[in-house]
Amino acid sequence: MRHFANLFLILFLADGALSTLDELLAAVSGMHLLSQVRNLAAFPVLFLAVPFFICMGIDRRIPKKIFLPMVLYALWAPMMFWPMPMFIPEAGFGFLMSLGQLGIGVAGLLAVRKKSDHDFLITPSMFSGPWFSLKNTLGFVAVSALLVPLTLTVIGFWSVATLVEVKTAGFMKIRPSGLYMNEKIYSKGGKTLRLLPMIHIGRTDYYNDVGGSMANGKTIILAEGVSDREGLLKAKLSYDRIGELLGLASQEHMELDGTYVTSDFKAMGDALEVNGHKPHIVSADLDLSEFSPITIEFLRVLTTAFFSDQPLTDGYAQYSAWVELQGDDLKVLDTITHDIFTQRNEAVFAMLNKALPHYDTLIVPWGALHMAEIEKEAQRLGFFMLGEKERLSVDFGEALEHLRKVQGREDRR
């Protein structure tokens, strides 16, 4: 076990040193020249961290004050040191985390040297006495009983946050404080393209900030929103009910200070000039009648079940019954997905290409799940990213507090 401990100490320290050196070289050269070498040390550290953690609960001789910080740091690394990216600038994040590992390793090495009478590795004298102690194991189990659930909770939250960020190409981010929408600004040949991810319900301040950010001049807003000119839906697709429960506003009430135009960019009403006036707003979405019958049926069931005045429990039962009738027909799911995502994305692509020659600034405020494909289209057109802007759309603390107050009022009735 002493050799196992020394091996872990050497590998942890080597990983920290190589990572710190690699980050310093990257800051100078712009390239991670030692990435392959540092991985040779990083993978064994991660692989050995779990069994070494278990060994500390069995062998009382392992100095936990020295090795526990190393093990925890090694297990924290696969989570990208979450939530530290919230507080550390991206430019210096890798260096600071590598430096932290090196610091923990050096501190452990100095502690070993002090205990081993000026030897940098653990000596046999430090492993004297019986290796097993029931008190040590029970204490370790008690601490682990608290630490493991907390770790699993952090891993679970981090996994969900990572999945959301990956699926939305970084347009939506989940953090302990709340849900953030990340606008990306692109440019090409004097044209500015703002990809503005939206959410159906959010903080009033969020919608006010988005609405107030629309620039005047030769600007067009490619608005999202499936129309229903033939009245195919029985109930209106409104998120007011959920918003009121959480103390949030609905996107449909967001005010855009602009002039609505037709798909040919002609004013709806009196003629107007482009320069010196408010932004133009054009519908870049489809009408419900352009969807397939099964998608229309799905939306009818969805709106009736969850957006009518009936209790949510009854609505859920109604929706579940409809889903069961479809069985495992993947064709139904593919059709619905194609209509709601692919077909609508193609509609905004067409409007984007059509509007490009006429406007200097194009703003696309669409749902976050659409933005990854819209971004790919922008890149295909030759746009390059200038920057990003995050906005807090849902504050978890505010929403939970409002929900608690609502439940309190219901309990008093």
In Å, how far are 148, 159, 294 from 153, measured between CA atoms?
9, 10, 39
Q: Residue 329 phi/psi, 5° resolution?
A: -75, 100
Question: For residue 249, what is the enclosing H or E element?
Answer: strand 249-250
Block means of pLDDT (10 residues each) for the chain, 413 residues, are 82 89 83 79 85 84 85 80 72 84 88 77 76 80 77 76 86 88 93 92 88 84 90 77 80 81 78 61 92 91 79 81 79 90 95 93 93 94 91 88 80 66
Residue type, 57: G
In Å, how far are 12, 243, 244 from 402, measured between CA atoms?
46, 11, 9
Mutual angle of helices 64-76 and 35-58, in 10-degree steps: 130
The Cα 243–Cα 160 span in angstroms is 23
Residue type, 244: E
Selection from 317, 316, 319 nearest residue 298 by Cα: 319
Give the model's pLDDT for residue 347.
95
Percent helix, strand and coil across the chain, each rounded to 5?
60, 15, 30
- Outline where 59-133 has alpha helix (H): 64-76, 90-115
Give the model's pLDDT for residue 211.
86
